[in-house]
Amino acid sequence: MGWRGLLGFEYGIIQAPLGPDISGPQLVAAVANAGALGLLRAPDWESPDYLRELIKQTRTLTDKPFGIGLVLAFPHEENLKVILDEKVAVLQTYWGDCTTELVAKAHSAGVKIVPQVGSFESAKQAIDAGADGIILQGREAGGHVIGQDNLISLVPRVVDLVGDRDIPVIAAGGIVDGRGYVAALALGAQGVCLGTRFLATEESNAHPIYKRKLVELNETEYTDVFGRARWPDAPHRVLQTPFFKDWRSLPAHESEANQPVIGHSTIHGVEKEIRRFAGTVPNMTTTGDLESMCMYAGQSVGLIKEILTAGEVIKRLVEGAQHIIQQNFK
């Protein structure tokens, strides 16, 4: 399959659901219009009316199908009802079990369900539950990281497990260009899911300072410093900003709960205070000490040299992968 299609989409490329609201309607629509699968990010709290409007707003910008990412670790039942009622093309789930009941709900609404997992065991459970595809997240990935395995070992194991069943395996983590795409295909994946590369696009809802840091900085670290109170036991990969380097050894008993407010954001229509060490990245509305805020990024951020349109990212991915295969695998 590769770049020739995935889950009914033109290309085997997925734009990850960037939280909390970085992959908004503009980015998702741009990705969809370019032939790939864009994923909105549902709020981490019940907000069904807002979510319905988010879906409708995206549909005013594209007539192509798209999906929504839902984090199962947070309240989500009302949001899920809206996603299924609106018959969004794909439901991506994360940080929770993809159960047979959840799959049945999605399928009865005509919605495909694609969980993101980080281990062989979780992949097997999702496959047995009847998932339509599996996103395998490697430890290379930016943002919250659910597993410990790298893609080079995890993808082939799950590909062998799937066998000849029609369940696409999609690689996520550290993929930003055609080289990473071809590497994932060589491991047996049928598609790729990119977060950081789409974060650094013109259409993403990330603050310009955050986008600039993605271009300027090259190093990341796997840590648990940010958001310990709101999302405990949820390690993540972040940019090694000067602020992070100063605080990377934050004592385990410390969290954002007892820290000063360093900024404010409007997230999914709700005004939020941002405390130091909160796991909230700066979006376009954020004010305050942005340099001291969390900035997620995957290990291959050093390969990102410029802010592009989402359409150009997809074009370069496809053409880059095709060129490598034509030149090296004739």
Provide the pLDDT for residue 5: 66
Query: From its phi and psi, is residue 160 left (phi > 0), alpha (psi between -120 and 50) or beta?
Result: alpha
Would the pLDDT of 4 be above 60? no
Long-range pairs, 312-317, Cβ under 8 A, ≥24: 313/194, 313/197, 313/198, 313/201, 314/11, 314/13, 314/31, 314/34, 314/35, 314/36, 315/34, 316/177, 316/178, 317/3, 317/11, 317/13, 317/177, 317/178, 317/181, 317/192, 317/194
Instruction: Check pLDDT > 80 for residue 313.
Output: yes
309 CB neighbour count, 10 Å cutoff: 14
Arithmetic mean of pLDDT over the chain: 96
Q: Per-residue pLDDT for 330 more than 90? A: no
Residues 173 and 317 in one domain: yes
pLDDT for the residue 8: 65
| Same domain assignment for residues 282 and 190 | no
Answer whether residue 8 is part of any domain. Answer: no
Which CATH number belongs to the domain containing residue 152 in this structure? 3.20.20.70
Task: Judge whether 105 lies within some domain.
Answer: yes
Instruction: Average the pLDDT over 12-24 and give the result.
Output: 97
* Least-confidence region, from 1-10, 46-55, 111-120, 218-227: 1-10
40 and 163 both lie in a single domain: yes
Task: Give the pLDDT band of residue 76 (cuts 50, 70, 90).
Answer: very high
Structural domain including 32 reads 13-204+306-329
* pLDDT value at 2 more than 70: no
Examine residue 39 and state whether it is found in any structural domain, yes or no. Answer: yes
Does residue 289 share a domain with residue 143?
A: no
pLDDT (mean) for 91-120 = 98
Which band of pLDDT confidence, cut at 50, 70 and 90, is reported for residue 299?
A: very high
129 and 258 co-located in one domain: no
The model's pLDDT over 162-174, given as tens digits with 9 standing for 90+, comes to: 999 999 999 999 9
Name the percent of the chain lying above pLDDT 90.
95
Residue 77: both structure tokens together: 């039942």
Task: Specify whether 88 is located in the same domain as 104.
Answer: yes
Give how many domains the chain has, as a whole number.
Answer: 2
Pairing state between β 270-275 and 13-15? unpaired
**Domain annotation covers residue 1:** no
Same domain, 26 and 171: yes
Is pLDDT above 50 for 84? yes
- Domain shared by 92 and 229, yes or no: no
List, in order, residues 6 or more apart from 54 with CB less than 8 Å away: 24, 25, 40, 268
Query: What pLDDT shows up at residue 3?
Result: 45
* Within a domain: 4: no
> What is the rounded CA–CA span in Å between residue 44 and residue 170?
24
Residues 27 and 125 in one domain: yes
Looking at residue 130, what is its pLDDT?
98
Q: Taking each helix axis from N to C terminus, what angle separates 48-61 and 25-33, rounded to the nearest 10 degrees?
A: 40
Q: Say if 120 falls within a structural domain.
A: yes
User: Do 154 and 237 belong together in one domain?
Assistant: no
Determine what percent of the chain is predicted with pLDDT higher than 70: 97
- Does the structure show a pLDDT above 70 at 231? yes
- Indicate whether 5 belongs to any domain: no
| Band of residue 26 on the pLDDT scale cut at 50, 70, 90 | very high
Same domain, 98 and 224: no
Predicted local distance difference test score (pLDDT) of residue 291: 97
pLDDT tens for each residue of 106-164: 999 999 999 999 999 999 999 999 999 999 999 999 999 999 999 999 999 999 999 99
Task: Tell how strand 270-275 and strand 236-239 pair up.
Answer: unpaired
Alpha-carbon distances of 114 from 6, 14, 16, 102, 232, rounded to whole Å: 12, 11, 12, 11, 24
Nearest to 196 by CA among 253, 239, 148, 150: 239
Residues 171 and 238 placed together within one structural domain of the fold: no
The answer as to whether 6 is a domain residue is: no
